Amino acid sequence: MAQTSVNPLNGETIKEYPEHSVGEIEEKISASNKTFESWSKTGFSERSALMNKVADLLEERKEKLALLMSKEMGKILPEGRSEAEKCAWVCRYYAENAEQFLLDKPLKSDASKSYVSYQPLGVLLAIMPWNFPFWQVFRFAAPSLMAGNTALLKHASNVPGCALAIEELFRDAGFPESAFQTLLIGSGEVASVIADQRVKAVTLTGSTKAGKAVASTAGKHLKKCVLELGGSDPYVVLDDAPLEKTIEACVTSRLINAGQSCIAAKRFIVTEKNYDNFVQGMKNAMKGKAIGDPTDETTGIGPQARADLRDELHEQVKKSIEAGAQVMLGCEVPPGAGSFYPASILAGVKPGMPAFDEELFGPVAAIIKAKDKDDAIRLANQSVFGLGAAVFTANQAEGERIAREELQAGCCFVNDFVRSDPRLPFGGINESGFGRELSEWGIHEFVNIKTVYVK
């Protein structure tokens, strides 16, 4: 079997990569486990120096890496450069802060001395998606390696070039050869890797369906797991929201990465007072976003990562229209080569439609009318997901109250679009998964929080 890299711009094969055999998988797990014995005892100063070198390489190679992302999954070049820079940021963040995050924490007890010590677990498996092929990996790898663990990456099968480029970055930076390794394997091989007693934990970013499968396997073998899954993020627009800035933030969030983001704005829930103006404003802002070659600096929206994903998105759109949603912009598959889908708007979206109930993984805005603030919050929370949410209002204190107390999601923003930040914990609830990445909370997910009691 082989993993094939296909350019979504034209459907042409870039390269085929042979998948690793059962024997090669065993060699890589064994090597990772062996490397853990020494890497876990390496001092923070050495780990930090190597992680900072990775950051340097990411910045030096960002043009090359951005082009690779464009070729393999259709990301426009400016977003690819930004992704490489963000990966460098998370590397430097943990290089600087990991030691402090993992200091022993004294606790009072009946002992003469008692404290919590944070110790690495061992070999970790990361199962990562194609939409942010570098960032999703680095937000796992930077804290995990700085904590003293070693890592195995099972990347999405349509971005094998990105997977191997990440492995090369760690190797070129001077990390032990088997501290970070890519497994070129299909989904059918994942369960056996999770089951291996040398693999101590697993993290997955991907669909809810994939997350449930991995969680089931991990649970069967009593392995810790962290899951960052799908989302249908609601953006609540209240009566007093400053519309111009609100629309700007909403359009930016909806169209990042051609709409292929778990935390992109998906459902725009607008109170009656602003509804018509919001719909028209979104239409005016989105209609100028041209689709095209992601390597052309003037392109606003690149192709969807694969043709089958584009077709699934269009089916959801068509079913929503059949159920009564109104087409305000786009919503048609353009002719010609490439897995393109235009910036699109569905208005009059209601519960029961795919555009409300499901995740639309593409540049389609679903606009929903709410009677008032309370109705808007109710509609926002009427979802199986719970990754991100945002509220827009001129009353900052009330927006903060709604974000803190009312919206049911792991990341709630006020007057801005939801995004991940190395300094802030990131993750969801409900069918958006569990566990946290980034910040201090992220590095604590894959360590043994060990109680030490001295009489």
Q: Where are the domains of the chain?
A: 2-229+429-454, 233-414
Residue 359 structure tokens: 């995740």
Alpha helices in 221-340 (DSSP H): 243-255, 272-286, 307-322
Q: How far apart are CA 259 and CA 256, in angstroms?
A: 5
- Quickly count: other Cβ atoms within 10 Å of residue 36's Cβ: 24
Q: Tokens for 196, please give them.
A: 């291996």
- Which residue among 228, 358, 431, 445 is the active-site one? 228
pTM of the shown model: 0.97
Strands 265-271 and 233-237: parallel
CATH class of 2-229+429-454: alpha beta
Token code pair at residue 385: 């997901």
CA–CA gap between residue 158 and residue 388 (Å, rounded): 26
DSSP 175-228: --TTTEEE----GGGHHHHHHSTTEEEEEEES-HHHHHHHHHHHHHTT-EEEEE
pLDDT tens, residue order, the chain (455 aa): 899 999 999 999 999 999 999 999 999 999 999 999 999 999 999 999 999 999 999 999 999 999 999 999 999 999 999 999 999 999 999 999 999 999 999 999 999 999 999 999 999 999 999 999 999 999 999 999 999 999 999 999 999 999 999 999 999 999 999 999 999 999 999 999 999 999 999 999 999 999 999 999 999 999 999 999 999 999 999 999 999 999 999 999 999 999 999 999 999 999 999 999 999 999 999 998 989 999 999 999 999 999 999 999 999 999 999 999 999 999 999 999 999 999 999 999 999 999 999 999 999 999 999 999 999 999 999 999 999 999 999 999 999 999 999 999 999 999 999 999 999 999 999 999 999 999 999 999 999 999 999 99
Helix (H) or strand (E) holding 133: none
Q: Which of 91, 225, 250, 262 is catalytic?
A: 262
Would the CATH topology of 2-229+429-454 be identical to that of 233-414?
Answer: no
| Nearest Cα residue to 235 out of 286, 274, 288 | 274
The CATH class, in words, for 233-414 is: alpha beta
Structure tokens at 140: 């796992």
| 8 Å CB contact between 279 and 328 | yes
Is 262 among the residues known to form the active site? yes
